[in-house]
Homo-oligomer: A and B are copies of this chain.
Amino acid sequence: MVIRVAVAGASGYAGGELLRLIAQHPELEVTTVTGRSTVGRTVGEVQPHLRSAADLVFQDTTPEVLAGHDAVFLALPHGQSGAIAEQLPDDVLVVDAGADHRLASEADWRAFYPGDWHGAWTYGVPELLAEGGRLREALAGTKRIAAPGCNASAVSLALAPAVAAGLVEQEDLVAVLAVGPSGAGRSTRPDLSASELLGSANAYAVGGVHRHTPEILQNLALVTGVRGSISFTPVLVPMARGILATCTARLAPDADERRLRAVYDEAYGDERFVHLLPAGSFPAVEHAIGANTLLLGLAVDTAARRLVVVAALDNLVKGTAGAAIQSANLALGLPEAAGLPIDGTAP
């Protein structure tokens, strides 16, 4: 039985990636795509790379158009999914690829986002350690999923095992991420023009103001119940997709590389989509492009007394659309890995 899917905001990058991935899914089928300025045009015109969905016609993004599907994926600008979602039936699976339903604290929301807070949905990172297990269990059977922020996903998965095991301090984490411009969506911001970014790199949202900051702290509190602190800086670099997150944490007195590797093995050794590389190996972004895969490399700096975990992922796949589908698979009772590629497209 085919599971009928609507993708709202299918003219953007996250929406397009949902179409690309769902086309390879054995059970899901996109029957409706919506947009705003693209209404009446075909996917083939707007997203020429999506040959498999070329003839679908964009409809308006309304609750009426989105109703009548088994699952609705919302890939809308931040702040636009809350109102739409409230008008969708309770028994339809709704997955929000935007930020509107990620933060469980209204205070966090108000500190980092404009507009109304809409409350938090089940967070769509199945592998993330939570009290008594992983978020996977909470996702099984849910009807409302908040797909993660791409940067938050990378940093949270990179640091959670060490934090949960108490082998690093939860305070004074430091993460610096090399990120591609597609994370900002289909934008024409001057600093995201090819002329400005080619041959260059620049940091933005410096000094604790990036919106993924509270999301990371929320994630890392799932096991410990304690909110730590993090210095988080994204650096825009000239690659279209991908994130390379360098995440560091102060070592606990009794931490060493053997113990740390053991807790990561314990956390991710059976995971299909999260993989720790052998000692001395570190991932490159190209290894994860196009795949629902997060690759981790780990080192212990004994002089600086810091754990360093390097994480690579594709912001549009494991960071957004892939995470959304993986979580939806769990919610729908399908095999978690259904339709999700694990091989990157390198070089």
Q: Which residues of A come within 8 Å of B, CB atoms?
A: 13, 16, 19-20, 23-24, 47-53, 172-174, 176, 178, 180-182, 184, 186-204, 206-208, 213, 229-233, 235, 237-242, 244, 246, 248, 250, 275, 277, 281-291, 293, 295, 297, 299-306, 308, 310, 312, 341-347
Residues of B within 8 A of A248 (CB): 174, 231, 233
On whether the beta carbons of B235 and A301 are closer than 8 Å, the reply is: no
Choice from B48, B288, B341 contacting A287 with Cβ under 8 Å: B48
Distance in angstroms from A247 CB to nearest chain B CB is 10
Q: Which residue of B lies closest to A287 (CB)?
A: B49
Once bound together, how far apart are the Cα atoms of A297 and B201, in whole Å? 14
Residues of B within 8 A of A310 (CB): 203, 206, 233
On whether the beta carbons of A284 and B202 are closer than 8 Å, the reply is: yes
Copies per assembly: 4
On whether the beta carbons of B284 and A196 are closer than 8 Å, the reply is: yes
Residues of B within 8 A of A250 (CB): 172
On whether the beta carbons of A237 and B239 are closer than 8 Å, the reply is: yes
On whether the beta carbons of B199 and A195 are closer than 8 Å, the reply is: no
> A202-B244, A202-B284, A341-B24 are contacts. A347–B306 as well, Cβ < 8 Å?
no
Q: Which residue of B lies closest to A16 (CB)?
A: B346
Distance in angstroms from A17 CB to nearest chain B CB is 8
Residues of B within 8 A of A305 (CB): 172, 229
Q: Which residue of B lies closest to A228 (CB)?
A: B304
On whether the beta carbons of B347 and A207 are closer than 8 Å, the reply is: no
23 A–B contact pairs at CB < 8 A?
Answer: A13-B347, A19-B343, A47-B346, A48-B295, A49-B346, A50-B344, A51-B275, A53-B343, A174-B248, A176-B233, A178-B237, A187-B193, A193-B193, A194-B198, A196-B346, A201-B244, A201-B312, A206-B297, A207-B299, A233-B246, A241-B347, A290-B290, A345-B345
> A49-B291, A174-B248, A207-B301 are contacts. A231–B284 as well, Cβ < 8 Å?
no
Q: Which residue of B lies closest to A303 (CB)?
A: B208
Q: Which residue of B lies closest to A278 (CB)?
A: B45
On whether the beta carbons of A51 and B342 are closer than 8 Å, the reply is: yes
Residues of B within 8 A of A53 (CB): 343
Residues of B within 8 A of A277 (CB): 48
Residues of B within 8 A of A308 (CB): 206-207, 231, 233
On whether the beta carbons of A290 and B345 are closer than 8 Å, the reply is: yes
> A284-B201, A301-B208, A305-B229 are contacts. A347–B244 as well, Cβ < 8 Å?
no
Residue from the set A189, A197, A250 with the largest chain B CB neighbour count within 10 Å: A197
